[in-house]
Amino acid sequence: MTNSSAASMPGAQSEAPPRRVAILGSTGSVGTQTIELIAREPDKYQVVALAARQNVKLLAEQAHALNPELVVVADESKYLEMKDAVADLPGVKVAAGAVAVVEAAEMNSDWVMAAIVGAAGLPSTIAAAKRGAKLAFANKETLVCAGPLMMDLVAKHGCKLLPVDSEHNAIYQVFDEEHREGIARLIITASGGPFRTWSREHMEKATPEQAGKHPVWNMGAKICIDSATLMNKTLEVIEAAYLFQMPSELIDVLVHPQSVIHSMVEYKDGSTLAQLGSPDMRIPIGYCLAWPDRMTTPAPKLDLVKIGQLTFEEPDPVRFPALRLGREALKLSGTAPALMNAANEVAVQAFLDGRIGFLDIEKIIEATLGQGPVVALTDLDVLMDADAAARAYAGEHVAKLAKK
């Protein structure tokens, strides 16, 4: 298999220079866990760039611990605060704004963690791909919105894509690229989220606090809501279709509440290969960080005897229509997935702000996807125009629903 590596020659790893690392989204869940793992093996990694949206306090703490060459705060209004916070680090350059985040991705680093949530992470992720970096991406939207463009860049510039999402990371570990003709289908597992057993009537009254309480994973607010609607699985199906070059009809979703099996690859001979592990993001992050080797992580070891049983069920398309919407967007292709993603981001934020109800999220997505127009995805400008138009329309729809 091409996705695994023979053990390094004795002594080779210790003699190798530290891997130069850029962490985009360093103050988020994935970013902080990446830094935690680097701290366990500091001689193997040199963090050269940190970028975050607006958490100056934590970003400054990270800068003091890691002494990077560049620190970027995306929120330009935080620039002076950020500069003051690291004034005692004369070797650290401070920058602000979206352009500076892209510059962090373009720096001379061997490995980039792309963990900026949402469409905001697209430009920097694409910039890293263009220079052929080893690119660990936790940003689903990169492939959801710009799948064809991104995969073309990966092929053209020799970028190594390393999926951080636990599901895609699991598939990556057991996907036989050299003999892909033997693969029958991909099976993406889902915990089912906090509303797995709730009725539509119950979900209609759900609060952001209830939707944000994921039963297994510790994630950010937006991702928790996506898990509650199953939109996260919708995005993952689209992402897998591009990443593994598989048609959507050969990608299934299976609800697995224990979140022990992170995904599976079924082969034509009847074999099914699965990657199992504790539900801890430090496992897939560590896999990507150390690739093509493996590193020791502090994640709990899997105890199947203690777990006792693994259960599975089909996702309910009536209670959770997001999967249908995602497959429709993928079938439409072009800018359709970007329209869906933009509408979802707008709707989720409106729900978190208390402006709309939980079930209004899917209404806004479906209305935006139906509004279109869907055009061919020829370049990033087309994508950004579609994203902006979808956000504007979804925002109008939010305003109408908020008045009711």
Q: pLDDT tens-digit profile of 195-241?
A: 999 999 999 999 999 998 776 766 668 888 999 999 999 999 999 99
Name the nearest CA neighbour of 107 among 57, 165, 48, 59. Answer: 48
Q: How far is CA 116 from the centre of its chain?
A: 8
What is d(CA 179, CA 44) in angstroms, rounded to the nearest whole number?
A: 33
Q: Average of pLDDT values for 80-86?
A: 97
Spatial contact of 391 and 370, defined as CB atoms under 8 Å apart: no
Q: Is the pLDDT reported for residue 7 higher than 90?
A: no
Q: Does residue 16 or residue 274 have the better pLDDT?
A: 274
pLDDT greater than 50 at residue 154: yes
β-sheet bridge partners, residue 114: 24, 137
Q: What are the residues facing 111 on neighbouring strands?
A: 21, 134
Give the whole-angstrom CA distance, residue 30 versus residue 234. 20
pLDDT band with cut points at 50, 70 and 90 for residue 13: very low
CATH superfamily, with its number, for domain 12-163: NAD(P)-binding Rossmann-like Domain (3.40.50.720)
Confidence band of 12 (pLDDT split at 50, 70, 90):
very low
What are the tens digits of pLDDT across the range 339-371?
999 999 999 999 999 999 999 999 999 999 999
Output the pLDDT for position 1: 43
β-pairing, 183-190 vs 261-267, is: antiparallel
Q: What integer best gives the mean pLDDT of the chain? A: 92
Q: How far apart are CA 61 and CA 86, in angstroms?
A: 9
- Give yes or no for residue 132 having a pLDDT over 90: yes
**DSSP assigned state of 8:** P
CATH 1.10.1740.10 placement within the chain? 333-404
Positions of CATH 3.40.50.720 in the chain = 12-163
Measured CA to CA, the distance from residue 40 to residue 36 in angstroms comes to 7
d(CA 259, CA 252): 16
Kindly provide the residue ranges of all beta strands, DSSP E only, lying in 277-353, ordered along the sequence: none
Instruction: Kindly state the tokens that stand for 183.
Output: 């693969």
pLDDT band at residue 140 using 50, 70 and 90 as cut-offs: confident
Lowest-confidence pick of 33-47, 98-112, 210-224: 210-224
- Tokens 């920058």: give the residue: 95
Percent of the chain with pLDDT over 70: 95
| Tally: H helices and E strands in the chain | 18, 11
What number does CATH give the domain 333-404?
1.10.1740.10
pLDDT reported for residue 4 = 44
pLDDT at site 183: 98
pTM: 0.88
- What band does 8 get if pLDDT is binned at 50, 70 and 90? very low
* Alpha-carbon gap, residue 160 to 168, rounded angstroms: 14
How many other C-beta atoms lie within 10 A of the C-beta of residue 48? 21
Q: What is the CA radius of gyration of the chain?
A: 21
Helix (H) or strand (E) holding 330: helix 322-332
Bridge partners (DSSP) of residue 315 are none
